[in-house]
Structure 1
Amino acid sequence: MATTNTAAPNIQGNIFGQKPALFVLFFTEMWERFSYYGMRVLLVVFLVKVAFGDSPWDRADALALYGIYTGFVYFTPMIGGIIADKYIGYRKAVLAGALIMTLGHASMALEIDWAFYLGLLLLIIGNGLFKPNISSIVGQLYDKEPELKDGAYTIFYMGINAGAFLGIMLCSYYGESADWGYSYGFGLAGIFMLIGLVQFFFAQGIFGRIGLAPSELQAYDDGVANAAAVEPDGAILDAHLAKGTKASSADLPEVSTGDGQEGPRAIRWGIIGTVIAAVVYFLIVTFMDAQPNALQTFSRQFMPPIIIGAVIAFVGWIVSDKSLLKIERDRVWSIIVFSFFIVFFWWAFEQAGGSMTIFALDYTDRTLDAGSASTFRIANTLLTVVPVMVLTYVLLKLFSITFKHYSVANLVLALAFVIVWVLIGIMLYEQFTTTEPEVPAGWFQIFNSLFIICFAPAFAKLWEKKISWLKAGPVKFAMGLILLGIGFAILALGAMSIPDGAKTASVSMFWLIAAYLFHTLGELCISPVGLSYVSKLAPVRLIGLMFGVFFVANFIANFAAGLTGSYIEPIAEQVGLSGFFLIFAAVPITAGLVFISISGWMKKMMHGIE
């Protein structure tokens, strides 16, 4: 393994024109997303079907917990990024986060109430360390080759969706199966998180000095940068001058730092706030009344005012920075406006793991007759086997290039794929030998990842075309919101036959699949575009903080998704499930139209950024 002062092995060859090091990150992220989505797909189903051997939870309670968990998952990365930047480095943050998440999944597999809550807390903390920092390593890997960076992130994004696809497929099948059970589903998530951890640990030398802690990168004489760090394949990383040359002030980047107090203040209050929130959350769900009314009280009465106050303080703190120039201040405001509207998108989109899972579980006809069972078996076999064959091919390519230097990491990956193929074989065998197989409720969520893989290249080409009205970021955002709303309108149409207040029904699977199609098309308009605009609009000295604004927007949206979903029963009793889903159609479409109406003002605030 490479140390602080040694270079990575000079590994020759590439995979699809990209560095082998990228695919170490690809598989690490793939197994982490396997574990995250594999657990998430089971969370609400487990609580409303089984819970902890006692009576199952009410839907409102399960969805409240879902919102609290997914909300904090998107809050802690802001803190984890700061910790990695300032103290421990990206690689140690990834390793620590993966270890903590492995322990969290193992704890949940016990199916004991206190261990379950502890597991969720560990997943929240671990994700905060892991999620932002593995992406940072991808960026640094291509610092000197920016022309390859877009392609690298596209491949990395495919790894994210491949992991989500496999995690949802396998964890939902084994977790919801009467022959296996939820411990197996939660356990699988933990096993593959552990595999990702071990693989990354033994292959991290391939990154050279990328991702090490600031203290490990300290190679300066008399406070002046004059040492070069070697990147894999011989490229120079994070050095302004080659070793042995004299640095002058003109060689160093010119970056305004404001009053110098922003970093320490953000770190101090960010850590305090996160620790307090995590402790209070754990105490509430563990020691208060076992009736999840405690969760609903926390979700509905405490969190909204806390979020509103925190957002006002956070935004005020940013825009009151006296060092911001007029153009910078306008662009910061445009990021805040983008973040405001993205809340509406993720608020509705994240119903996938909440109310849409309830719809799949209790209101969708998932039992197959002889004819439909044959069609499902063939389609599911193709959907499962073809992607895993492609991933296995990528693994073999990585073997051929890196096995000599990183044999342990490669053998761990090989073991992971053996396990995946065995699990797929068992699943398909059981499905083919069951007379009337039942589709798992979580199975429908695979379509989001599948549609992303299918349509992402087409959208990438669309953005490259010189279509004037498509160039503006607000228009792309508006398209995403409207497409998402159309998806919920389709779902509302499918729910029209369900009587008001009904607890069960059997509508066609078509409605859920069609909804996921439009949701994914909307995601492709918003998710990559939003991150791109933050990087373009944010002042250099505030870029990490402004990405934090986006994380906070996701935190609010995910929490609000669970909170709103927890009202599914009272709303359905009044206006039916169709009316409930129409809310998620009307709000994003309205937000999209409003965004279009202010696009001219936004263009002025962006000051030439397209």
Structure 2
Amino acid sequence: MSTPSSSPDTAASEQLILHHQPGLFVLFFTEMWERFSYYGMRALLVLFLTASLFEEGWGWGRAEALQLYAFYTGLVYVTPILGGFLADKLFGYRLAVILGALIMTLGHASMALETVSTFYIGLICLILGNGLFKPNISSIVGQLYDKEKHKRDAAYTIFYMGINAGAFLGILLCGYIGEKVGWRYGFGLAGVFMFLGMVQFYFAQNIFGDLGKRPQNAADRQAAEQAAVADGGEPPVEAHVERDRIIVIMVFAFFTIFFWWAFEQAGGSMTIFANDYTDRVLEGGQATAYKIANTLLTVMPLLVVTWVLAMLFRVTFSRYPLSNLCLGLSFVVIWGIAIWLIQNDFRTKSYQVSYTDITGIDQTTKIRSSDALQPGEKIELVYNKQVELYDPSDEAHKDHRVEDGMVRDAEGNRIGAHFKTVVAPIVEFQSPGLFWKTSRLTKLQYQTLDGSNLTHSLTLAEDSSLKEGDSVELLVTDDLVLPNHSEAETVEAQVEKLQDDEVVVPASWFGILNSFFIIVFAPFFSRFWEMNIIRSGPIKFALGLVLLGIGFAALAFGSLSIEAGAKVAQVSMVWLILAYLFHTLGELCLSPVGLSYVSKLAPARLVGLMFGVWFVATFIANLAAGLTGSFIDAIADTYSMSVFFLIFTLIPIGAGVVLVLLNGVLHRMMHGVD
């Protein structure tokens, strides 16, 4: 009985790209645009939910927004186990990838409408679509190298570079468009590139031959396996070998929980560290150097992936023109957005402006604008007053003093205006968010020096013991920004002088370092694995865990100067950059290699399911990461910030040591798989 060949398109595969089949790079770009859409949307999710109604956000509290974020990021790692099962038994990997991409495209489009119902429908579509897409595109990569298993680690490393190229560009561009232009445009941009990624995969799928098609019946599967063995493939294994290899996959999945548990602090505690404890103000030559570096960080990854695109064009354009045209169009759009972003960044200058605050006193502040402003020019600024309870005994205010109605720091610099007031009647209300819950609110009235009476509504913390009639002190700080909307309530200010020699590095900027380092180092790791200097899978995993721990050791050392209980500090950003560097090196040792070992160890009929199990381990790690990260204040107040990061140093390194000790046992259970 004859069976169709499962080999990739022979004509297209005769020409290699970076020593690999061109089909790998079709998957590379498909995954890149999917990760672009995922990380681009994820970068906006919490910002959109917590933005005020005036800023066209939903005005949620941070806790409620993070709850929805946790459910979303968790569930996208649960649904792959169902998606893998459906692909194994029903759809086949290729159809599952196409359906998943289509559902996610509809999800992004739904979110761009920004109504409550369409927003939730969009999130559900993204969760379901990701379940079909994520495990099965990884499975196709593995099947592509059934006859070249020695190149599979290197192939997954290249594939992983595509993942991080998409993540980098998505965070950078969707985040910028969403915040600067409008939320719906950021969500919509993510959907556009998900659609283009789906179309280019659809039109190029014949490059895979019969790989990833619908599952065969039992007789056809047996015949295909016999044909694969005759063609140089691996024969079906005995039951006990299959069982042992599945156990090894489970062990690897267990240890990957420790890795992602620590690694995913990047979205929580490390972001807090960047925002509140890192010196991010650059002046003079450092500011200029940052702008140049940021330009290079934007352009270099684009140049790398454009170079890869050109090589794919050279090999496949004549056979798959529609797929290549979709890819070309996507890169034209990406380059246009990137050039606009760079120009806008260099046009943005810092200006000192003067205004009259709520106390009637003339003040000066700094603003940033991409419009050229002239000294003496009158401008309108949005005057956002930040009101908080002021407790002189709080550790954060120990060096502050109240003087002439102002709170000043140890150097005498003005922090904000100081007022005394009395707690008004406290009322209960349902606060907005994912879970409607009862909160307590009071209206505080205070009088400015010019006799004006102002009122501010303050939501009390859950553990607040304040009651009606209590005397409290308030700290009112100014937050002046250029208006984005014509109906904004503004205050008149005057431009005093240009200050273009200072820049504040955004806290979110550090988030792109991981993806950038992946893009830079992935080719070197790909070649390193091909050299077979380290052949053992458990040792590769252990190395990744140890490197991750070293990254947190840098943060623990850099945090030694931060006092227990301190809410702000000025630690050098070098420690954060070093942490992201070592975390990335650890990720390159563990994550792409882990994907490769799942494909090599899993039985052919269960590859999709095993990838699903792998992503469930990632779900557990993400959930644990969020719960552990929430203790940052408790640990930092009781011990220190250094002790907090030391926890994430010792546990991954300890897990790595255990894996080294288990290396011999696990290697035997892999039955010859390296």
Class of the TM-score when normalised by the shorter of the 2 chains: 0.7 to 0.9
The SS at the match of 1:511 is helix
Aligned pairs for 1:301-312 within 5 A = none
Supply the AA of the counterpart residue of 2:42. Answer: R
Structure 2 CA distance for partners of 1:111 and 1:362, relative to 1, 3 Å: farther
Structure 2 CA distance for partners of 1:117 and 1:578, relative to 1, 3 Å: farther
Q: CA deviation at 1:405?
A: 3.8
The SS at the match of 1:364 is coil
Q: Which of the residues 596, 607, 624 maps onto 1:560?
A: 624
Residue identity (%): 61
Aligned pairs for 1:347-496 within 5 A = 347-436=261-350, 437-460=503-526, 462-463=528-529, 471-496=535-560
Q: CA deviation at 1:595?
A: 3.5
- Say yes or no: does 1:517 pair with 2:581: yes
Q: CA deviation at 1:530?
A: 3.0
Asked whether the equivalents of residues 13 and 19 of structure 1 are also in contact (C-alpha less than 8 Å), the reply is yes
Partner of 2:170: 167
- Say yes or no: does 1:84 pair with 2:148: no
- Give the structure with higher Rg (CA): 2
Q: Which moved more, 1:333-342 or 1:540-549?
A: 540-549
Structure 2 CA distance for partners of 1:136 and 1:530, relative to 1, 3 Å: closer
Q: CA deviation at 1:196?
A: 0.8
The SS at the match of 2:312 is helix
Normalized per residue, which structure has more strand?
2
Q: CA deviation at 1:70?
A: 2.2
Work out the CA distance in 1 between the residues paired with 2:118 and 2:566.
34
Work out the CA distance in 2 between the residues paired with 1:194 and 1:492.
43
Supply the AA of the counterpart residue of 1:76. Answer: T
Asked whether the equivalents of residues 158 and 522 of structure 2 are also in contact (C-alpha less than 8 Å), the reply is no
Supply the AA of the counterpart residue of 2:505. Answer: V
Q: CA deviation at 1:16?
A: 3.4
Work out the CA distance in 1 between the residues paired with 2:39 and 2:50.
18
Work out the CA distance in 2 between the residues paired with 1:151 and 1:384.
25
Q: Which moved more, 1:563-572 or 1:42-51?
A: 42-51
* Structure 1: tracts of 5 or more residues without a match: 228-237, 257-323
Work out the CA distance in 2 between the residues paired with 1:226 and 1:112.
51
TM-score of the two chains, using structure 1 as the length reference: 0.73
Partner of 2:25: 23
Query: Deviations for 1:266-291, whole angstroms, at most 9, x for unmatched residues?
Result: xxxxxxxxxxxxxxxxxxxxxxxxxx
Supply the AA of the counterpart residue of 1:172. Answer: G
Supply the AA of the counterpart residue of 2:580. Answer: Y
Aligned pairs for 1:47-446 within 5 A = 47=49, 53-58=57-62, 60-144=63-147, 146=149, 149-176=152-179, 179-214=180-215, 238=224, 240-241=226-227, 254=236, 325=240, 331-436=245-350, 437-446=503-512
Query: Deviations for 1:223-248, whole angstroms, at most 9, x for unmatched residues?
Result: 56799xxxxxxxxxx57459xxxx99
Q: CA deviation at 1:155?
A: 2.9
Q: Which of the residues 549, 564, 568 maps onto 2:613?
A: 549
The SS at the match of 1:16 is coil
TM-score of the two chains, using structure 2 as the length reference: 0.67
Count of residue pairs brought into register by the alignment: 513
Work out the CA distance in 2 between the residues paired with 1:533 and 1:145.
14
Work out the CA distance in 1 between the residues paired with 2:181 and 2:320.
35
The RMSD of aligned alpha carbons is 3.7
Asked whether the equivalents of residues 25 and 138 of structure 1 are also in contact (C-alpha less than 8 Å), the reply is yes
Q: Which moved more, 1:349-358 or 1:89-98?
A: 349-358
Q: Which moved more, 1:134-143 or 1:155-164?
A: 134-143
Work out the CA distance in 1 between the residues paired with 2:304 and 2:572.
31
Asked whether the equivalents of residues 40 and 353 of structure 1 are also in contact (C-alpha less than 8 Å), the reply is no
Supply the AA of the counterpart residue of 1:446. Answer: I
Structure 2 CA distance for partners of 1:374 and 1:16, relative to 1, 3 Å: same
Partner of 2:594: 530
Asked whether the equivalents of residues 168 and 443 of structure 1 are also in contact (C-alpha less than 8 Å), the reply is no
Supply the AA of the counterpart residue of 2:578. Answer: A
Structure 2 CA distance for partners of 1:187 and 1:568, relative to 1, 3 Å: farther
Supply the AA of the counterpart residue of 2:202. Answer: F
The SS at the match of 1:211 is coil
Work out the CA distance in 1 between the residues paired with 2:607 and 2:10.
32
Structure 2 CA distance for partners of 1:538 and 1:138, relative to 1, 3 Å: closer
Partner of 1:288: none
Asked whether the equivalents of residues 66 and 354 of structure 1 are also in contact (C-alpha less than 8 Å), the reply is no
Structure 2 CA distance for partners of 1:608 and 1:92, relative to 1, 3 Å: closer
Structure 2 CA distance for partners of 1:531 and 1:440, relative to 1, 3 Å: same
